Structure 1
Amino acid sequence: MNVVGYARVSTREQNPAAQEAELRRAGAGRIFVDHGESSRVPDRPQWLACLDYLRPGDVLLVRALDRIAGSEVMAIELIRELARRGVRLRSLTEPFLDVDTSTPMGEAIVGIMAVLAQLRVSTIRENTRRGLEHARSQGRAGGRPTVMSPERIEAAVRMRESGESVAKIARTLGVGASSVARALSRRDEEFMRR
Protein backbone atom coordinates (compact mmCIF):
# COMPACT_ATOMS: atom_id res chain seq x y z
CA MET A 1 0.00 0.00 0.00
CA ASN A 2 1.40 3.35 -1.11
CA VAL A 3 0.25 6.48 0.78
CA VAL A 4 0.17 9.49 -1.54
CA GLY A 5 -0.49 12.97 -0.20
CA TYR A 6 -2.08 15.94 -1.89
CA ALA A 7 -1.97 19.51 -0.58
CA ARG A 8 -3.38 22.70 -2.09
CA VAL A 9 -3.39 26.40 -1.28
CA SER A 10 -5.68 28.87 -3.00
CA THR A 11 -3.21 31.72 -3.47
CA ARG A 12 0.47 31.98 -4.36
CA GLU A 13 1.08 33.90 -1.11
CA GLN A 14 -0.09 31.01 1.07
CA ASN A 15 2.41 28.43 2.26
CA PRO A 16 1.44 24.73 2.06
CA ALA A 17 4.29 23.66 4.41
CA ALA A 18 1.94 22.92 7.35
CA GLN A 19 -0.26 20.70 5.17
CA GLU A 20 2.80 18.90 3.81
CA ALA A 21 4.19 18.31 7.32
CA GLU A 22 0.85 16.88 8.52
CA LEU A 23 0.66 14.56 5.52
CA ARG A 24 4.25 13.33 6.04
CA ARG A 25 3.60 12.68 9.75
CA ALA A 26 0.52 10.66 8.73
CA GLY A 27 2.64 8.46 6.44
CA ALA A 28 2.56 10.06 2.98
CA GLY A 29 5.68 9.07 1.07
CA ARG A 30 4.99 11.19 -2.00
CA ILE A 31 3.15 14.52 -1.85
CA PHE A 32 1.77 16.58 -4.72
CA VAL A 33 1.20 20.30 -4.05
CA ASP A 34 -0.77 22.88 -6.03
CA HIS A 35 -0.11 26.58 -5.36
CA GLY A 36 -2.68 29.27 -6.18
CA GLU A 37 -5.29 26.85 -7.47
CA SER A 38 -9.02 26.74 -6.71
CA SER A 39 -10.59 23.47 -5.61
CA ARG A 40 -13.39 24.17 -8.09
CA VAL A 41 -10.96 23.78 -10.99
CA PRO A 42 -10.66 20.07 -11.79
CA ASP A 43 -7.54 20.29 -13.97
CA ARG A 44 -5.03 21.62 -11.44
CA PRO A 45 -1.52 20.61 -12.63
CA GLN A 46 -0.31 18.73 -9.54
CA TRP A 47 -3.76 17.26 -8.93
CA LEU A 48 -3.70 15.72 -12.41
CA ALA A 49 -0.16 14.43 -11.77
CA CYS A 50 -1.34 12.94 -8.47
CA LEU A 51 -4.27 11.17 -10.13
CA ASP A 52 -1.93 9.82 -12.79
CA TYR A 53 0.49 8.55 -10.11
CA LEU A 54 -2.13 6.69 -8.05
CA ARG A 55 -2.44 2.93 -8.51
CA PRO A 56 -4.99 0.36 -7.27
CA GLY A 57 -4.41 -0.31 -3.57
CA ASP A 58 -2.95 3.17 -2.92
CA VAL A 59 -4.31 5.56 -0.30
CA LEU A 60 -4.84 9.21 -1.22
CA LEU A 61 -4.25 11.27 1.92
CA VAL A 62 -5.51 14.87 2.24
CA ARG A 63 -5.83 17.27 5.15
CA ALA A 64 -9.51 17.89 4.35
CA LEU A 65 -11.90 17.12 1.52
CA ASP A 66 -12.00 20.79 0.48
CA ARG A 67 -8.36 20.46 -0.65
CA ILE A 68 -9.47 18.27 -3.56
CA ALA A 69 -13.11 19.14 -4.26
CA GLY A 70 -14.81 22.54 -4.32
CA SER A 71 -18.40 21.31 -4.31
CA GLU A 72 -20.41 18.36 -3.08
CA VAL A 73 -20.95 17.16 -6.65
CA MET A 74 -17.20 17.20 -7.34
CA ALA A 75 -16.54 15.41 -4.05
CA ILE A 76 -19.01 12.63 -4.70
CA GLU A 77 -17.83 12.12 -8.29
CA LEU A 78 -14.20 12.09 -7.20
CA ILE A 79 -14.72 9.64 -4.35
CA ARG A 80 -16.66 7.31 -6.63
CA GLU A 81 -13.96 7.55 -9.31
CA LEU A 82 -11.23 6.77 -6.78
CA ALA A 83 -13.26 3.79 -5.53
CA ARG A 84 -13.65 2.51 -9.11
CA ARG A 85 -9.87 2.73 -9.50
CA GLY A 86 -9.29 0.86 -6.22
CA VAL A 87 -7.84 3.92 -4.43
CA ARG A 88 -8.90 4.69 -0.85
CA LEU A 89 -9.32 8.27 0.28
CA ARG A 90 -8.33 9.35 3.79
CA SER A 91 -8.73 12.79 5.36
CA LEU A 92 -6.80 13.92 8.43
CA THR A 93 -9.65 16.11 9.67
CA GLU A 94 -12.61 13.99 8.56
CA PRO A 95 -11.96 10.48 9.94
CA PHE A 96 -15.35 9.23 8.77
CA LEU A 97 -14.11 9.73 5.21
CA ASP A 98 -11.91 6.61 5.38
CA VAL A 99 -14.76 4.24 4.53
CA ASP A 100 -15.24 1.46 2.04
CA THR A 101 -16.99 3.33 -0.78
CA SER A 102 -17.73 0.13 -2.64
CA THR A 103 -20.56 -0.59 -0.19
CA PRO A 104 -23.94 1.18 -0.09
CA MET A 105 -23.27 2.34 3.50
CA GLY A 106 -19.86 3.73 2.58
CA GLU A 107 -21.29 5.59 -0.39
CA ALA A 108 -24.11 7.01 1.78
CA ILE A 109 -21.62 8.26 4.38
CA VAL A 110 -19.59 9.98 1.68
CA GLY A 111 -22.73 11.61 0.27
CA ILE A 112 -23.78 12.89 3.68
CA MET A 113 -20.30 14.22 4.37
CA ALA A 114 -20.17 16.04 1.02
CA VAL A 115 -23.55 17.66 1.66
CA LEU A 116 -22.38 18.82 5.09
CA ALA A 117 -19.22 20.30 3.57
CA GLN A 118 -21.30 22.20 1.02
CA LEU A 119 -23.63 23.38 3.79
CA ARG A 120 -20.62 24.81 5.62
CA VAL A 121 -19.45 26.69 2.49
CA SER A 122 -22.98 27.99 1.80
CA THR A 123 -23.37 29.11 5.42
CA ILE A 124 -20.09 31.04 5.29
CA ARG A 125 -21.18 32.75 2.06
CA GLU A 126 -24.60 33.62 3.49
CA ASN A 127 -23.09 35.00 6.70
CA THR A 128 -20.63 37.10 4.68
CA ARG A 129 -23.45 38.45 2.51
CA ARG A 130 -25.56 39.33 5.57
CA GLY A 131 -22.59 40.99 7.25
CA LEU A 132 -21.88 43.13 4.18
CA GLU A 133 -25.54 44.11 3.88
CA HIS A 134 -25.63 45.10 7.54
CA ALA A 135 -22.42 47.12 7.18
CA ARG A 136 -23.86 48.92 4.14
CA SER A 137 -27.09 49.70 6.04
CA GLN A 138 -24.90 51.29 8.74
CA GLY A 139 -23.10 53.40 6.13
CA ARG A 140 -19.96 51.29 6.07
CA ALA A 141 -18.51 49.53 3.05
CA GLY A 142 -17.18 46.01 3.35
CA GLY A 143 -13.89 44.86 1.94
CA ARG A 144 -10.47 46.40 1.91
CA PRO A 145 -10.25 50.19 2.29
CA THR A 146 -9.60 52.05 -0.95
CA VAL A 147 -6.16 53.46 -1.69
CA MET A 148 -7.83 56.32 -3.54
CA SER A 149 -7.98 59.15 -1.01
CA PRO A 150 -9.98 62.28 -1.91
CA GLU A 151 -6.70 63.99 -2.83
CA ARG A 152 -5.72 61.15 -5.18
CA ILE A 153 -9.16 61.17 -6.78
CA GLU A 154 -8.91 64.91 -7.43
CA ALA A 155 -5.43 64.46 -8.92
CA ALA A 156 -6.71 61.59 -11.08
CA VAL A 157 -9.59 63.72 -12.35
CA ARG A 158 -7.22 66.57 -13.25
CA MET A 159 -4.83 64.17 -15.01
CA ARG A 160 -7.66 62.54 -16.96
CA GLU A 161 -8.94 65.96 -18.03
CA SER A 162 -5.45 66.74 -19.36
CA GLY A 163 -5.60 63.58 -21.49
CA GLU A 164 -3.54 61.12 -19.42
CA SER A 165 -4.36 57.41 -19.66
CA VAL A 166 -5.56 55.42 -16.65
CA ALA A 167 -2.30 53.45 -16.71
CA LYS A 168 -0.21 56.65 -16.61
CA ILE A 169 -2.38 58.11 -13.82
CA ALA A 170 -1.96 54.90 -11.81
CA ARG A 171 1.83 54.92 -12.22
CA THR A 172 2.02 58.58 -11.22
CA LEU A 173 -0.15 58.09 -8.13
CA GLY A 174 1.54 54.79 -7.20
CA VAL A 175 -1.66 52.75 -7.21
CA GLY A 176 -3.21 50.07 -9.40
CA ALA A 177 -4.96 50.95 -12.63
CA SER A 178 -8.14 49.19 -11.49
CA SER A 179 -8.25 51.42 -8.37
CA VAL A 180 -7.99 54.52 -10.55
CA ALA A 181 -10.62 53.25 -13.00
CA ARG A 182 -13.08 52.42 -10.19
CA ALA A 183 -12.57 55.78 -8.49
CA LEU A 184 -13.06 57.70 -11.74
CA SER A 185 -16.12 55.63 -12.62
CA ARG A 186 -17.67 56.31 -9.19
CA ARG A 187 -16.87 59.99 -9.56
CA ASP A 188 -18.54 60.06 -12.99
CA GLU A 189 -21.66 58.31 -11.62
CA GLU A 190 -21.90 60.83 -8.77
CA PHE A 191 -21.53 63.68 -11.25
CA MET A 192 -24.33 62.25 -13.44
CA ARG A 193 -26.70 61.97 -10.46
CA ARG A 194 -26.37 65.67 -9.64
Structure 2
Amino acid sequence: MLMGYMRVSKSDGTQTTDLQRAALLEAGIDAELLYQDHASGKKDDRPGLVACLKSLRDGDTLVVWKLDRLGRDLHHLVNTVHDLTARGVGLKVLTGQGAAIDTTTAAGKLVFGIFAALAEFERELISERTVAGLASARARGRVGGRPFTMTPTKVRTAMAAMGNPETNVGELCDELGISRQTLYRHVSPTGEIRADGTRILNRPASVRRTSRKP
Protein backbone atom coordinates (compact mmCIF):
# COMPACT_ATOMS: atom_id res chain seq x y z
CA MET A 1 0.00 0.00 0.00
CA LEU A 2 1.20 3.51 -0.84
CA MET A 3 0.88 6.33 1.68
CA GLY A 4 1.82 9.95 1.06
CA TYR A 5 3.17 12.71 3.27
CA MET A 6 3.04 16.45 2.53
CA ARG A 7 4.47 19.42 4.40
CA VAL A 8 4.66 23.20 4.15
CA SER A 9 6.32 25.42 6.72
CA LYS A 10 3.67 28.11 7.11
CA SER A 11 0.00 27.86 8.05
CA ASP A 12 -0.92 31.48 7.24
CA GLY A 13 -2.24 30.65 3.77
CA THR A 14 0.87 31.79 1.89
CA GLN A 15 1.91 28.18 1.29
CA THR A 16 -0.27 25.29 0.19
CA THR A 17 0.17 21.55 -0.35
CA ASP A 18 -1.71 21.64 -3.69
CA LEU A 19 1.34 20.86 -5.85
CA GLN A 20 2.46 18.05 -3.55
CA ARG A 21 -1.05 16.62 -3.35
CA ALA A 22 -1.42 16.57 -7.14
CA ALA A 23 1.92 14.77 -7.55
CA LEU A 24 1.13 12.20 -4.89
CA LEU A 25 -2.33 11.51 -6.31
CA GLU A 26 -0.79 11.10 -9.76
CA ALA A 27 1.64 8.59 -8.23
CA GLY A 28 -1.34 6.42 -7.39
CA ILE A 29 -1.94 7.27 -3.74
CA ASP A 30 -5.51 7.31 -2.46
CA ALA A 31 -6.54 10.76 -1.17
CA GLU A 32 -7.56 9.19 2.14
CA LEU A 33 -3.99 7.97 2.64
CA LEU A 34 -2.37 11.42 2.45
CA TYR A 35 -1.01 13.01 5.62
CA GLN A 36 0.15 16.59 5.99
CA ASP A 37 1.71 19.12 8.33
CA HIS A 38 2.09 22.88 8.45
CA ALA A 39 5.35 22.96 10.38
CA SER A 40 9.08 23.43 10.05
CA GLY A 41 11.01 20.47 8.66
CA LYS A 42 13.40 20.79 11.59
CA LYS A 43 10.69 19.62 13.99
CA ASP A 44 10.71 15.87 14.60
CA ASP A 45 7.37 15.74 16.44
CA ARG A 46 5.04 16.86 13.63
CA PRO A 47 1.57 15.38 14.31
CA GLY A 48 0.85 14.51 10.68
CA LEU A 49 4.18 12.73 10.28
CA VAL A 50 3.76 10.87 13.56
CA ALA A 51 0.29 9.66 12.50
CA CYS A 52 1.61 8.67 9.07
CA LEU A 53 4.53 6.67 10.46
CA LYS A 54 2.24 4.89 12.90
CA SER A 55 -0.14 3.92 10.09
CA LEU A 56 2.54 2.30 7.92
CA ARG A 57 2.73 -1.50 7.95
CA ASP A 58 5.10 -4.14 6.62
CA GLY A 59 5.04 -4.02 2.83
CA ASP A 60 3.81 -0.42 2.62
CA THR A 61 5.72 2.41 0.92
CA LEU A 62 5.88 6.00 2.13
CA VAL A 63 5.93 8.46 -0.78
CA VAL A 64 7.00 12.11 -0.55
CA TRP A 65 7.14 14.77 -3.25
CA LYS A 66 10.65 15.92 -2.28
CA LEU A 67 13.01 14.60 0.37
CA ASP A 68 13.00 17.90 2.29
CA ARG A 69 9.24 17.52 2.81
CA LEU A 70 10.02 14.59 5.10
CA GLY A 71 12.58 16.65 7.01
CA ARG A 72 15.53 19.02 6.75
CA ASP A 73 17.77 17.36 9.32
CA LEU A 74 19.96 14.70 7.72
CA HIS A 75 20.26 12.62 10.89
CA HIS A 76 16.48 12.64 11.35
CA LEU A 77 15.99 11.54 7.75
CA VAL A 78 18.50 8.71 8.07
CA ASN A 79 17.06 7.52 11.38
CA THR A 80 13.51 7.67 10.00
CA VAL A 81 14.38 5.60 6.94
CA HIS A 82 16.36 3.08 8.99
CA ASP A 83 13.32 2.67 11.23
CA LEU A 84 11.03 2.23 8.23
CA THR A 85 13.40 -0.32 6.69
CA ALA A 86 13.49 -2.31 9.94
CA ARG A 87 9.68 -2.43 9.81
CA GLY A 88 9.64 -3.57 6.19
CA VAL A 89 8.42 -0.19 4.91
CA GLY A 90 9.88 1.47 1.81
CA LEU A 91 10.47 5.14 1.00
CA LYS A 92 10.09 6.71 -2.44
CA VAL A 93 10.95 10.31 -3.39
CA LEU A 94 9.22 11.63 -6.49
CA THR A 95 11.35 14.63 -7.53
CA GLY A 96 14.08 17.07 -6.56
CA GLN A 97 17.25 16.17 -4.69
CA GLY A 98 16.91 12.60 -3.50
CA ALA A 99 14.57 11.61 -6.34
CA ALA A 100 16.74 8.55 -6.95
CA ILE A 101 15.82 7.23 -3.50
CA ASP A 102 13.44 4.30 -3.63
CA THR A 103 14.35 1.86 -0.88
CA THR A 104 12.17 -0.80 -2.46
CA THR A 105 14.84 -1.15 -5.20
CA ALA A 106 18.52 -2.10 -5.03
CA ALA A 107 19.64 1.12 -6.77
CA GLY A 108 17.53 3.24 -4.43
CA LYS A 109 19.00 1.52 -1.39
CA LEU A 110 22.49 2.32 -2.70
CA VAL A 111 21.65 6.01 -3.05
CA PHE A 112 20.26 6.11 0.46
CA GLY A 113 23.41 4.41 1.71
CA ILE A 114 25.34 7.42 0.41
CA PHE A 115 23.05 9.73 2.36
CA ALA A 116 23.63 7.65 5.49
CA ALA A 117 27.40 7.88 4.98
CA LEU A 118 27.12 11.68 4.71
CA ALA A 119 25.13 11.76 7.93
CA GLU A 120 27.86 9.80 9.70
CA PHE A 121 30.48 12.19 8.31
CA GLU A 122 28.47 15.15 9.61
CA ARG A 123 28.26 13.49 13.03
CA GLU A 124 32.05 13.12 13.13
CA LEU A 125 32.45 16.80 12.29
CA ILE A 126 30.09 17.71 15.15
CA SER A 127 32.16 15.54 17.48
CA GLU A 128 35.36 17.29 16.41
CA ARG A 129 33.79 20.71 16.94
CA THR A 130 32.51 19.63 20.37
CA VAL A 131 35.96 18.43 21.44
CA ALA A 132 37.48 21.69 20.21
CA GLY A 133 34.84 23.67 22.11
CA LEU A 134 35.54 21.75 25.32
CA ALA A 135 39.27 22.43 24.99
CA SER A 136 38.58 26.12 24.42
CA ALA A 137 36.28 26.27 27.46
CA ARG A 138 38.89 24.54 29.60
CA ALA A 139 41.52 27.03 28.43
CA ARG A 140 39.25 29.86 29.56
CA GLY A 141 38.94 28.24 32.99
CA ARG A 142 35.26 27.44 32.60
CA VAL A 143 33.86 25.04 35.19
CA GLY A 144 30.50 23.32 35.44
CA GLY A 145 27.78 24.81 37.60
CA ARG A 146 24.56 23.41 39.00
CA PRO A 147 23.43 20.57 36.72
CA PHE A 148 20.36 21.18 34.60
CA THR A 149 18.14 18.81 32.68
CA MET A 150 18.83 17.51 29.23
CA THR A 151 17.24 19.37 26.33
CA PRO A 152 16.90 18.13 22.72
CA THR A 153 19.98 20.14 21.76
CA LYS A 154 21.99 18.72 24.66
CA VAL A 155 20.89 15.18 23.84
CA ARG A 156 22.01 15.51 20.21
CA THR A 157 25.30 17.12 21.24
CA ALA A 158 25.93 14.37 23.79
CA MET A 159 25.19 11.65 21.21
CA ALA A 160 27.69 13.16 18.77
CA ALA A 161 30.36 13.73 21.42
CA MET A 162 30.03 10.32 23.07
CA GLY A 163 30.41 8.70 19.66
CA ASN A 164 33.95 10.09 19.60
CA PRO A 165 36.35 7.96 21.72
CA GLU A 166 38.51 11.05 22.34
CA THR A 167 35.73 12.85 24.23
CA ASN A 168 36.46 13.56 27.89
CA VAL A 169 33.21 12.77 29.70
CA GLY A 170 33.91 15.12 32.60
CA GLU A 171 34.57 18.02 30.27
CA LEU A 172 31.47 17.21 28.23
CA CYS A 173 29.33 17.25 31.38
CA ASP A 174 30.84 20.61 32.38
CA GLU A 175 30.15 22.03 28.94
CA LEU A 176 26.52 20.84 28.96
CA GLY A 177 25.98 21.73 32.64
CA ILE A 178 24.87 18.23 33.64
CA SER A 179 26.12 15.40 35.83
CA ARG A 180 27.52 12.09 34.61
CA GLN A 181 24.42 10.36 35.96
CA THR A 182 22.19 12.59 33.84
CA LEU A 183 24.38 12.07 30.78
CA TYR A 184 24.36 8.27 31.02
CA ARG A 185 20.65 8.21 31.73
CA HIS A 186 20.05 9.73 28.30
CA VAL A 187 23.02 8.56 26.19
CA SER A 188 25.16 5.43 26.29
CA PRO A 189 28.97 5.55 26.55
CA THR A 190 29.15 4.90 22.79
CA GLY A 191 26.70 7.64 21.82
CA GLU A 192 23.55 5.56 21.42
CA ILE A 193 20.37 7.23 22.59
CA ARG A 194 18.61 5.70 25.58
CA ALA A 195 14.94 5.67 26.58
CA ASP A 196 15.11 8.95 28.55
CA GLY A 197 16.87 10.64 25.64
CA THR A 198 14.26 9.39 23.19
CA ARG A 199 11.52 10.80 25.40
CA ILE A 200 13.24 14.20 25.40
CA LEU A 201 13.48 14.25 21.59
CA ASN A 202 9.91 13.07 21.10
CA ARG A 203 8.33 15.31 23.72
CA PRO A 204 6.30 18.22 22.24
CA ALA A 205 7.99 21.55 22.83
CA SER A 206 4.91 22.89 24.65
CA VAL A 207 5.28 20.35 27.48
CA ARG A 208 9.05 20.35 27.88
CA ARG A 209 10.07 21.33 31.37
CA THR A 210 13.40 22.22 32.92
CA SER A 211 14.38 19.69 35.57
CA ARG A 212 17.27 19.97 37.97
CA LYS A 213 17.70 16.31 38.68
CA PRO A 214 21.39 15.39 38.97
TM-score range, shorter chain: 0.5 to 0.7
- What stretches of structure 1 of length at least 5 have no aligned partner? 120-194
CA offsets per residue over residues 55-79 of structure 1, 9 Å max, x none? 1100100011111121111111111
Alpha-carbon shift at residue 108 of structure 1 (Å): 5.1
Structure 1 match to 2:99: 95
Distance 1:8 1:79 in 2: 17
2:48 match: 46
| Cα 1:15/1:106, change in 2 over 3 Å | closer
Q: Give the residue type in structure 1 aligned to 2:36.
A: V
Structural mapping, 1:95-134, within 5 Å: 95-100=99-104, 109-113=111-115, 115=118
CA distance in 2, matches of 1:85, 1:57: 9
Counterpart of 1:73 in structure 2 is 75
- Normalization by structure 2: what TM-score? 0.48
Instruction: Give the equivalent residue in structure 2 for 1:7.
Output: 6
Structure 1 counterpart of 2:125 = none
Larger Rg over CA atoms: 1
Identity %: 37
Question: Aligned partners of 1:34, 1:95: CA distance in 2, in Å?
Answer: 21
One-letter code aligned to 1:41: K
Question: Which runs of no fewer than 5 residues in structure 2 stay unpaired?
Answer: 123-214
Q: Where do 4+ consecutive residues of structure 1 move more than 3 Å?
A: 105-108, 113-116
8 Å Cα contact 2:6-2:35 kept in structure 1:
yes
> What is the number of equivalent residue pairs in this alignment?
113
1:33 maps to a residue whose letter is Q
Match of 1:144 in 2: none
Q: What is the root-mean-square deviation of aligned Cα atoms in Å?
A: 2.4
Deviation at 1:100, TM superposition (A): 4.6
> What CA distance in whole angstroms lies between the structure 2 residues aligned with 1:92 and 1:69?
15
- Between structures 1 and 2, the one with greater helix share: 1
d(CA) in 1 for partners of 2:88, 2:3: 14
Is the aligned partner of 1:31 residue 2:30? no
TM superposition score normalised by structure 1:
0.53
Paired with 1:53 and 1:78, the residues of 2 have a C-alpha distance of 14
Relative distance call for 1:111 and 1:39 in structure 2 (3 A) is farther
The 1:34–1:88 alpha-carbon spacing in structure 2 relative to 1, beyond 3 Å, is same
Shift of 1:15: 0.7
